[in-house]
Chain A
Amino acid sequence: MTNLMIGRYLPGDSLVHRMDPRSKIVLVFYFICIVFLADNGLSYLVLGLFTLLAVLLTKIKLIYFWRGIRPAIVLILFTVMIQVFFTRGGQIFWSWGPFALSTAGLLNAWFIFLRLVIIICMSTLLTLTTSPLDISSALSSLMTPLKWVHFPVDIIALMLSIALRFVPTLMDETVRIMNAQRARGVDFGSGNLIQQIKAVVPILIPLFVSAIQHAEDLDDAMTARGYRTDAPRTTYRIIQWHTRDTLSFGVFIVLTVIILFVRTA
């Protein structure tokens, strides 16, 4: 049950695993922007090879990346179909009303397909190699400049990490409550929509009660250990920037230059 939410992270010690989570997040976003620069076969080839290289560097089996793509397959196919049938240009093989099958349409669809697969692979790579904990610390660290506009960065960061920390606890409790309700004869996952929704209510209420109980106790425990929102704190957990992170930024700059060079426009 716990694996549902956070099981996407696969611990390891590849180069990618050991990168600073902040640089991974920033670079993945940056990469997604670069992908939109590609506009011809060669630029997609470069990006595709780059993604493949990155994927291989993680030393994670390809099947896990496929699992990342699988949930999006419907979306991908739908987008590709639209591109195929609604783009006209070049040689037209077939047409009927607004629909057409043309070389331009096929090429466009192929590019869109590549673009989506590349983007999904890269974001999957981020979540596969970075623990949720590291992602949350990285996000808080990246939010630091917001302190200048008096955004409560530290409080949000603590909230985020406590929320993450309680996900498994509440998941376990959900299972326990569901089992207790089953023992009382509640049938989950059958009946019509209304019946299913009705079956969920007796799970949600005890779950809320228990979450509030956790929160109250946690409040006491945190206060007793001297936590106050109005006082500064020092930090134990730090994320470390290494030479490999600086180098990765270099690699991405080189990639950008190559893409700018090979693209048509």
Chain B
Amino acid sequence: MYNERKRGNDVEEPIITIDHLTVKYAEQQHPALDDISLTVPAHSWTAIIGHNGSGKSTMIKALTGLVTADAGTMTVAGMPVDEAHIWDIRRKMGVVFQNPENQFVGSTVADDVAFGLENAQIPRDKMIPRVQNALAQVGMTDFATREPAHLSGGQKQRVAIAGIVALAPDIIALDEATSMLDPEGRVAVLQTIRNLKAQQDLTILAVTHDLEEAAAADNVIVIDNGHLVASGTPPEIFARGEKLIDMGLAVPFTEQLKTDLSNAGVPLPAHYLTEEEMAEQIWKLYSTM
């Protein structure tokens, strides 16, 4: 949806490749990720969906070298994920983690946004505008001197996003990074990320439980119980409605409506429909009745 320009050129260099990746935590019986292979095209928005405990966070941690692979190889931004490249990879790929409380390092909002810049040894006079700019992007400018104890979960998530945005990576991985925002806040923050993506040609990897958000992505990856179940464009994925329901994932409203209408004998195209497309279809049907 945000990628009309890119969708035309069918061959995009993959910016992330995962090849037969297996990760098993010590003391766990089953691997958290079992023989996963996939690629993420550069400049795309890829949504990762799946149940709690299916291994989504583990996958992102493996890509940034926070958990070690038991088997398989990965590349990020053209570099193999190994000891020698991991710090370069971490500068190319920013991660916003699931729990905003546990990634707030600084003692105030501005200090926290600056944390990554300090690590990257950006001089202080260059840090100041970058911190301000990143805070403005997520609408947290007025909170710059606040301490984390006086922020809500959603506000902390915005700060966490700002901390990554300030670093200007090529890839941003969002691990349920908007889960604590209210609906308007979520729309606003996602829009901000979309704008950034367009401006800076970012690649976004977004773990989400929000199928509306997944439906708006370029690609969707479905993980279940450590296995890669499906990967493709949202229309391809949502065309397999029943299967997704089996896996306990909610299907977006338009899909639900389509299934119900089909069951009621109303003919509709098999591929995934956006809200507008759906409205158009219904309007067409209605006018031909």
The chain A residues found within 8 Å of chain B, CB to CB, are 2, 133, 136, 161-162, 164-165, 168-169, 213-214, 217-218, 220-228, 231-238
Known: A225-B116, A226-B91. A165 touches B106 (CB 8 A): yes
Identify whether the interface residues of B are mostly helix, strand, loop, or mixed. Answer: helix
Contacts between the two chains (Cβ within 8 Å), count: 101
Q: Add 15 more A-B contacts to A133-B107, A162-B105 (CB < 8 A).
A: A164-B107, A165-B104, A168-B149, A214-B102, A218-B102, A218-B105, A220-B66, A226-B90, A226-B91, A226-B116, A226-B120, A233-B119, A234-B122, A235-B118, A238-B124
Q: List 13 A-B contacts (CB under 8 A).
A: A164-B107, A165-B106, A165-B107, A168-B147, A217-B99, A221-B103, A223-B66, A225-B119, A226-B91, A233-B119, A234-B127, A236-B131, A238-B124
B148 engages A228 (CB within 8 Å): no
B105 engages A133 (CB within 8 Å): no
Identify whether the interface residues of A are mostly helix, strand, loop, or mixed. Answer: helix
Indicate whether B163 reaches chain A with its CB closer than 8 angstroms: yes
The chain B residues found within 8 Å of chain A, CB to CB, are 61, 64, 66, 87, 90-91, 94-95, 97, 99, 101-108, 110-111, 114-124, 127-128, 131, 147-149, 163-164, 167
Q: Complex: how many Å from CA A234 to CA B91?
A: 16
Question: Which of B61, B95, B108, B121 is the one whose CB lies under 8 Å from A133?
Answer: B108
Q: Complex: how many Å from CA A162 to CA B108?
A: 11
A168 CB contacts on chain B under 8 angstroms: 147-149
Q: Complex: how many Å from CA A136 to CA B123?
A: 22
B90 engages A224 (CB within 8 Å): yes
A236 engages B107 (CB within 8 Å): no
The closest CB in chain A to the CB of B66 belongs to A220
A213 CB contacts on chain B under 8 angstroms: 102
Question: Which of B106, B107, B119 is the one whose CB lies under 8 Å from A226?
Answer: B119
A236 engages B119 (CB within 8 Å): no
A223 CB contacts on chain B under 8 angstroms: 64, 66, 90
Question: Which of B61, B87, B114 is the one whose CB lies under 8 Å from A236?
Answer: B114
Q: Complex: how many Å from CA A217 to CA B102?
A: 6
Q: Complex: how many Å from CA A221 to CA B95?
A: 8
B87 engages A228 (CB within 8 Å): yes
A217 CB contacts on chain B under 8 angstroms: 97, 99, 102-103
B118 CB contacts on chain A under 8 angstroms: 233-236
Question: Which of B105, B121, B148 is the one whose CB lies under 8 Å from A222?
Answer: B105
